[in-house]
Amino acid sequence: MIHRPRINRWTESRRNLIHDPSIKSSLVQPYFVVDGVNIREEIQGMPKIYRESLDNLLDTVKSDYEAGIRAIMLFGVVSEDLKDDYANQAMNELSHLHKAVFELKKIYNDDLVIMTDVCLCTATAHGHCGIVANGEIENDESVEILAKIALSHAKAGADYVCASDMMDGRIISIRKTLEASGFSSTGILAYSVKYASSFYGPFRNAASSSPKTGDRKSHQMDIRSGYKEAIFESKLDQEEGADIIMIKPGLPYLDVVKTVSDEVEKPVAVYNVSGEYAMVMNSAIDLSQRKSMVIEILNSFKRSGADIIVTYHAREALAQGWIK
Ligand code: PBG
């Protein structure tokens, strides 16, 4: 089956994430997981966000959970020596990322929605989101690998696999692969409308995923493109079986969030990306001013129609009691 509307209803935590109208229930906190032990380094340009090994990640998730976080998004950071041309480490079921998903699922079971990033860029030596041949990113070969990565995350216990690559046809391929292996309750979050934005800088440092040469403009959307392409991409992913449609970045594209959320039937997510977070955190303001800014930003996402908000502000907003 391509469409399984039950996926978004599968657990109470998924239902709350999607349908509870409060901002608090809409938040998803991202994490960067590295291999090793006792590692916890703050990311350059992103105060209070860390690259962490599994032992520390478990502590961080625990304190976030206690503050009220009920949905998380995990990014696996791959060490340089394990990168290759085909992103093999990204589908290695024994990797630290897979272990993290497995351990968190064991601890929280269905009380926490676990999302994982599915892309090649963190595990390819050249840093591109796909297989490169003759200087071009090969679409269909890349899609095959993406589906394998997604399946490996599903096996580890992910609630939603999140395709952030922007290759054509990857959602249907991931859906068919999950179906063929019996993963009929694993959701797919599609980064349907993802722009070739200059707001991803701090993330690429954090995930060590910058392309060594060139850029991502042959697959991520042109920043000048209009609503028609955004609607087209969203509907395509919806037809291919996506369970959640995401727009990224957030603040520069609130109009797109509004337009897409008016057009699609599936729940809509917005990604308040690293550069947006850095702008707020690195402006010279005190905590009470930051509180006001974060509340204002989160409300803007809700007003524009986002059901789900992926944001690095989630941790602080809940820990400080800014959002109730
Ligand atoms: C991987 C990916 C990126 C982000 C999420 N997944 C980087 C990129 O596309 O270059 C960016 C997230 C952020 O900036 O917070 N493809």
Lining ligand 1 with CB less than 6 A are 117, 119, 121, 129, 164, 200, 203-204, 209, 216, 273-274
Q: Residue 19: how many CB atoms within 10 A of its CB?
A: 13
CA 271 to ligand 1 centroid distance, Å: 9
Q: Which residue in 102, 98, 111 sits closest to 71, CA to CA?
A: 111
pLDDT in tens, 119-149: 988 989 888 888 888 888 899 999 999 999 9
Distance 203 CA to ligand 1 centre (A): 6
- At 292, is the pLDDT very low, low, confident or very high (cuts 50, 70, 90)? very high
User: Which amino acid residue places its CA nearest to atom 1 of ligand 1?
Assistant: 164
Identify the residue with better confidence: 206 or 224: 224
Q: Model confidence over 310-323: pLDDT tens digits? A: 999 999 999 999 99
Angle at 98 between CA 62 and CA 59, to 5 degrees: 15
Q: Specify the ligand 1 atom closest to the Cα of 129.
A: 16
Which pLDDT score, from 0 to 100, does residue 133 have? 86
- Which one of 121, 145, 223, 281 would you pick to mutate in the ligand 1 pocket, going by the greatest count of ligand atoms within 8 A of its CB? 121
Provide the pLDDT for residue 125.
Answer: 86
Give the integer Cα–Cα distance in Å for 71 and 28. Answer: 5
Provide the pairing of β-strand 131-133 with 136-138: antiparallel
Q: CA-to-CA distance for 160 and 114, rounded, in angstroms? A: 7
pTM over 0.95: yes
CA angle 163, 167, 172 (to 5 degrees): 65
Element containing residue 230 per DSSP (H, E): helix 227-240
Strands, E assignment, the chain:
27-33, 40-43, 46-52, 71-76, 113-118, 131-133, 136-138, 160-163, 187-194, 244-248, 268-272, 308-311
Whether the per-residue pLDDT at 15 is higher than 80: the answer is yes
Q: Which of 164, 166, 191, 248 to mutate to test the pocket of ligand 1 (most atoms within 8 A of CB)?
A: 164
Contacts by 102-111, CB closer than 8 A, 24 or more apart: 102/156, 102/157, 103/54, 103/58, 104/58, 104/61, 104/72, 104/157, 105/156, 105/157, 106/157, 107/58, 108/61, 108/65, 110/11, 110/12, 110/13, 111/13, 111/65, 111/70
Q: What is the rounded average pLDDT for all residues in the chain?
A: 95
Question: Tokens for 300?
Answer: 């803007």
Out of 209, 219, 247, 309, mutate this one to test ligand 1's pocket (max ligand atoms within 8 Å of CB): namely 209
